Amino acid sequence: MDQLAILKAKELLELTEGNICNHCLGRKLSSLVKGEDNLDRAEKISEELNINQDDADCVICGNIFDRIDDELFGKIYNKIEHLGVEFDTFLVGTSLDKAIKQKDDEISDSLDVVVEPIKKELNRIIGSEIENNSNKEVSFEKQDIVINVDIRKKTKVRLQINPLFIEGKYNKYLRGIPQTKWPCTKCKGRGCDEWNGTGKQYPESVEELLSERILEVTRGYEAKFHGAGREDIDVLMLGSGRPFVLEIKEPKIRKINLKELEEEINKSTEGKTAYHGLKFVERNRKAEIKVSSPDTYKVYKALVKCEEPYDKSKLKDLEKLDEINQQTPIRVLRRRADKVRIKHVKELKSEVIDDYTFEITIKTEGGLYIKELISGDEGRSKPNVSEVLGVNAVCAQLDVVEVSEK
């Protein structure tokens, strides 16, 4: 040991009046004394200064390290077994009395050296023991579970089971199915005399037709559906499908065969929905798929009906549509901010059906409301199809045929 380490060791003993445990002695001087761990450092300091701290009543931690014992690990393993949690990676977190942290900080400030926080050592000791007694691995970046140990009074153990994220694409082949569960407005989904006590306005959704089975096999608590936009309930989702991420909260089973599940679910939802390319992804994907940029686009096929015969020669003028100033549609004002958004039509083609009806295939920037682009929405979308043709027109049927990748 060098002279600075000896000097600081003596200063530490003076600050604590000799009442310091081996864990805190080695930890406080970890930046000055080399060793395999803090107990090894404490042993070297004790030999150098001819002291013995084995039975010291520590004024810093209150000998809290003595509580990391078989009883604590028994509680941890019993909690994992009781919940039936499947995991490969984990992290440990601890909760301490504020007084311990305050005293620890006070001594560190007086000592004026770089000191490892007490929680870090507690977490490391507990984590190392679990690693050594299982085939599990501590992970700081991504973990399946977090083991929270509360040692403020009576020792308690709580498990935080981190979510699973499953990405894929879906198709919707039947009109009248919403993308996500649509709770009853009266009871907020709890169940009441409306909707046969189900608590929801529609019996099924794209989300539920997928998530119910996945929740069953993962033994998850709840599912949340994150879509790359959404289509109206009366609109089909065709083509290669719409990207989504399904978040499974508190899954007790993590190792599931997504390919087999995909096949099973698609058989049960045939004619309604289909799900493709299911794969596990990281948390950040649920935000990434929602990001809209000028490069993202959607392609729609719309059946347009006019109030009176339209001038077929004016269909060519629709191909010139470009920048659209679209104020929040009247039909979604209750849930969206009322403002004007500038969106762009990238490409438009039309096909005559009869004197009152035609079909358009339109490629647009994400976020453009097609029904309102056609009707004009009482002047809130400009320019619009009705305006260009000089007749009132409405979207009689709409299908999404392509959603760009993100």
Catalytic residues: 232
341 forms bridges with which residues in the sheet? 326
Which residue, among 195, 214, 199, has the nearest Cα to 269 in the 3D structure? 214
DSSP notation for 173-227: -STT--SS--B-TTTTTS--SSGGGTSBSSS--HHHHHHHHHHHHHT-SEEEEEE
Q: Which tokens belong to 65?
A: 């390290």
159 close to 221: Cβ distance less than 8 angstroms = no
Which residue, among 345, 383, 348, has the nearest Cα to 364 in the 3D structure? 345
Q: Residue 173 and residue 157: Cα distance in Å, rounded?
A: 47
146 close to 159: Cβ distance less than 8 angstroms = yes
Q: Residue 323 and residue 364: Cα distance in Å, rounded?
A: 10
Distance, CA of 201 to chain centre: 26
Which residue, among 302, 305, 314, 296, has the nearest Cα to 364 in the 3D structure? 296
Which residue, among 195, 196, 225, has the nearest Cα to 208 in the 3D structure? 225
